Structure 1
């Protein structure tokens, strides 16, 4: 089939064909992913990037209009290192073809050549032997063949041969590839993308694609892990910003000082960044000065790598970010976190990930609009489940009380879609929050470590729920008033009376005013009386203390509780930013589990 020019619709269906091929090879691309980190997600990321483009773009007749839409969609949907590199290349290509409604092989080859530097310039430290190299050498080959050949099909076939040769040589340029005896995964994905485009040139294939307009299911590949690579920085961190005259070089330099694998794609009005860091919580608050952060995504590469290890528990324990439990314990027991969203205007922060307990109160002093909260997105839930189901025999998810959040229902709704794998996933509504939820999560994790099976762990958690309690000492009504939970008039009255409530959850997981006092000292005494009474009724098996930036008060509680219970708390930690929105600064809570 001879093609003498490209218009917008042909570009779109070429993208569709390429995406379809990448989707077929997704698991194989994950399997050979060793650079920059062996986290096994290159195939997923490239496939999701391309599929997002296809879902968002409606093809126009003019090539410049279609590529402009593709470029914009690539930035909002780019995933991972390879996805962001591809997005920046597509944005460069859209910029270079702006003058053309349709384009010849010669002009397209020139546009490709001028687009390659966009991809290189997006990276703080471009590395050869990756997708960049193959993309560059393919563009050079297309340019050379296209100068004297006006048939896109012929030029694509010949330049694909050069791309394959370039791919074959990637291990010669990157030592880690040579060591693992693989080619670069992102580069292989790009070659598969080109192969899909070439394959669709066969008679009848474009009509078949028009009928489908969707990607195919991935074929199955064995998931044998590579040797464990060293992770220099733990979190793969991405964000999308809208702004005006955003300084790309300044942003790139800032990110370079905070981690590695830095890519900044886009332009001064819209950009996507990708890099690896140990402190994602430092990044987004700083980045908000440049524009409106529309998307945040953080993947814990250490937890992903742990999941791909051959020797690991058969049960994955998952909880949402409302569970107050220290990160050290999460790491010790390989507990997976599904963060809720803390919404500030149009910006969604990831609770306990891109904003953490140590930051929340200084953050609240600066924001003009008081934040709200939202359950995890459907996409995030689905991605988490997909990953865990593919690496664990069973998945147990313990959520915040369904009476105070829609998180349980959102996760349950997604689990119901899993059909044959549904029996491997259990979602338990803990009817608790904060430290009480954290103690239940820890009990489940300890049971898994002690060799309990899936049914035994589920039954244990369910048996502990009615024995688990939380009592929160609220220091001020200021945060409840700002968040709209208490009217300003009631807040002023409570302040005038020096009212110090003790908040708890009832047996259905609903928030209740359990008791009250008229001084902080009396409030503390009341909580100690409650704990002592419960302990006399049925011994307290374990407890924890959580606080809203009140370590001294938490230590006071610890000393008093050790006297009453004769044992140290399982842990003391800060409350999650979303819990802090209502509990406020100075709040201290005791959570306990009875025998």
Structure 2
């Protein structure tokens, strides 16, 4: 019988406990603070990262895994089973070169059935896909069935997130200095999303956190109404914010399942503390 293994990269922001529960394998990106390098979610956890970030004079940088790191894990998995297929789910190619590293590794291992997916997602948007795929594999679904489920969710899933400060977007070269300064002075909270190709795009803006939350709720209502939803809420060192938002969602939507996750060091480098997001898709797309 075919064995199906799920591989993710660390930007899926799944904890070690979740990986163990679902038998998911992880390849880590890296965070660099001057001379010190950390493997995302391995050498550094979110709480430690946000403490270091708050004290850092210079913004840390990030780097993708090498093809060799993917080759290592793909070969190790292939050696454990005679008949194996690997489904490798990764951060959107518009956001990182991680997907291309995995593609190159696949090309160097033609003897292994490896399926590399550009999820066009980030953080727990990838995590939701990985958990759903792992559950489907455990339930005995075929590779083709699992890939179809993944494709359906990617086509339906919506990500909305709010950054607390525009400083990180400015430092990362995504907005100009003037926009960052004006936004900060006016307490403007940009509401962002990921487009169909996985690139960051502006959706709306609000003055203050509470108005931003109301705006995001209204966007979701306009898109989903009373349809049962699977939800993931992610946060960068602001758990109370998403717990409050979850209460609002539970009172306004039909929610089949909801998970919470910390935004990890790599994604946190680019959005900063105080960022939070909601990822949703219609539950029937992930039903097994």
Per the normalisation by structure 1, the TM-score is 0.46
Rounded to whole Å, the distance in 1 between the matches of 2:281 and 2:169 is: 27
Shift of 1:439: 1.1
Rounded to whole Å, the distance in 2 between the matches of 1:569 and 1:584 is: 27
1:66 aligned partner: none
2:97 is the counterpart of 1:406: yes
2:208 aligned partner: 519
1:586 aligned partner: 274
Higher relative contact order (CA 8 A, sep 6+): 2
Shift of 1:375: 0.8
Summarize the alignment of residues 156-555 of structure 1 with structure 2, pairs less than 5 Å apart: 314-392=3-81, 393-421=84-112, 424-536=113-225, 539-555=227-243
Rounded to whole Å, the distance in 2 between the matches of 1:591 and 1:583 is: 16
8 Å CA contact retained: 1:326, 1:571: no
Summarize the alignment of residues 137-152 of structure 1 with structure 2, pairs less than 5 Å apart: none
Rounded to whole Å, the distance in 2 between the matches of 1:478 and 1:389 is: 44
Deviations 1:419-457 (A, max 9, x none): 232xx1110111111121111111111111111111211
Equivalent of 1:557, from 245, 256, 260?
Answer: 245
In structure 2, do the counterparts of structure 1 residues 447 and 573 end up closer, same or farther at CA, with 3 Å as the change threshold?
Answer: same
Shift of 1:568: 6.4
8 Å CA contact retained: 2:229, 2:256: no
Aligned residue for 1:552, secondary structure, equals helix
How many pairs align? 281
Structure of greater Rg: 1
8 Å CA contact retained: 1:480, 1:581: no
Shift of 1:327: 3.5
8 Å CA contact retained: 1:402, 1:429: yes
Rounded to whole Å, the distance in 2 between the matches of 1:357 and 1:521 is: 25
Considering only aligned residues, what root-mean-square deviation do their CA atoms show, in Å?
1.8
Deviations 1:161-198 (A, max 9, x none): xxxxxxxxxxxxxxxxxxxxxxxxxxxxxxxxxxxxxx
8 Å CA contact retained: 1:435, 1:470: no
Aligned residue for 1:570, secondary structure, equals strand
8 Å CA contact retained: 2:188, 2:205: yes
The structure carrying a bigger helix percent of its residues is 1
Shift of 1:478: 2.4
8 Å CA contact retained: 2:227, 2:254: no
Deviations 1:510-538 (A, max 9, x none): 110111111111100011111222222x7
Aligned residue for 1:419, secondary structure, equals coil
In structure 2, do the counterparts of structure 1 residues 313 and 528 end up closer, same or farther at CA, with 3 Å as the change threshold?
Answer: farther
Rounded to whole Å, the distance in 1 between the matches of 2:119 and 2:99 is: 9
Rounded to whole Å, the distance in 2 between the matches of 1:466 and 1:325 is: 22
Deviation >6 Å, runs of 4+: none
Shift of 1:569: 4.5
In structure 2, do the counterparts of structure 1 residues 566 and 327 end up closer, same or farther at CA, with 3 Å as the change threshold?
Answer: farther
Shift of 1:589: 0.5
Deviations 1:227-280 (A, max 9, x none): xxxxxxxxxxxxxxxxxxxxxxxxxxxxxxxxxxxxxxxxxxxxxxxxxxxxxx
Rounded to whole Å, the distance in 2 between the matches of 1:576 and 1:540 is: 28
Deviations 1:99-151 (A, max 9, x none): xxxxxxxxxxxxxxxxxxxxxxxxxxxxxxxxxxxxxxxxxxxxxxxxxxxxx
8 Å CA contact retained: 1:313, 1:449: no
Summarize the alignment of residues 14-93 of structure 1 with structure 2, pairs less than 5 Å apart: none
Shift of 1:477: 1.2
Shift of 1:489: 2.6
Unmatched 5+ residue regions in structure 2?
none
Rounded to whole Å, the distance in 2 between the matches of 1:323 and 1:504 is: 16
Deviations 1:269-322 (A, max 9, x none): xxxxxxxxxxxxxxxxxxxxxxxxxxxxxxxxxxxxxxxxxxx98111011111
Shift of 1:411: 0.6
